[in-house]
Structure 1
């Protein structure tokens, strides 16, 4: 008699949504807990589960019922987490390389880096949609109209979201520092 997991994978190979749903029901909570342990964010862990199962669905015809599905699933999740941290590191390096003014003293560089780190943390804590809008605007240079078209929302919604993020950043960063003023002038406004 074939194990239930092998039967589900065989059915998934044929495109069975029911088999997919059952595998999701069985493994999503464990995968979420695994992602939460590393990503430290419920939203990011939920996105991880969605991404992993999207890959499972896209590759449903290639799944082998004789292989350990759980190992395969967690290998995909582990690779997704690695990619997440690689992209985050590249993102932070890009911010540092692009925004760090050239002629700062060591103390000013440390202060500026601290401001960038604080800003990055605040941005990463934003709700995913607001974070996406802000990054598209400030890091990718897209206009409100472009973002609105991309996300299927109104340009006014985009402007409101960006305004809320700027207000939040200004309220959380010490405005008495000259570098903070420079940062907001170059980056946020």
Structure 2
């Protein structure tokens, strides 16, 4: 599927409906493509989630102040700030709208110099769909990921989707599961959907 010109908003119900079916968009040189990988990356929210020893030492030093949703747009822009990115104007504005509606969230790591890293994604039902992360200083995105997992556990979430599995995410216990298995997990995490979506309480103050 494609056809959204640059900077045009993807309607929120289209985006949320796609996520509810296990589908997500990415942009490439002005073309919007929708994906549903045969093998899906997920991070466990139980005891299988692993924090590397080096990161544990870093967490004890508390190098960053973790904030939620304090600058969602800047977090997306940080994720897009690389040589090749799938985050174009359409993706940026569409997810910023989802954020204003309460569905998209950013987890940010700040220090005295400002925003140093973080991640963003979409929350629907008891599923969180991680979209992208970035770091300007060592361990910033990793600290954000640990904070995300802690919050998802507190809120009783059942699924943390990473779309594809990377070597980086494998260090945290990330794994690949077949699309059929993912769809089963997604259905459980979403519960009964009547076609009307409601933003779940996830971030502080939400």
Which interval holds the TM-score relative to the shorter structure? Answer: under 0.3
Larger-gyration structure (1/2): 1
TM-score by length of 1: 0.27
Q: Quick check: which one's strand share is greater? A: 2
TM-score by length of 2: 0.26
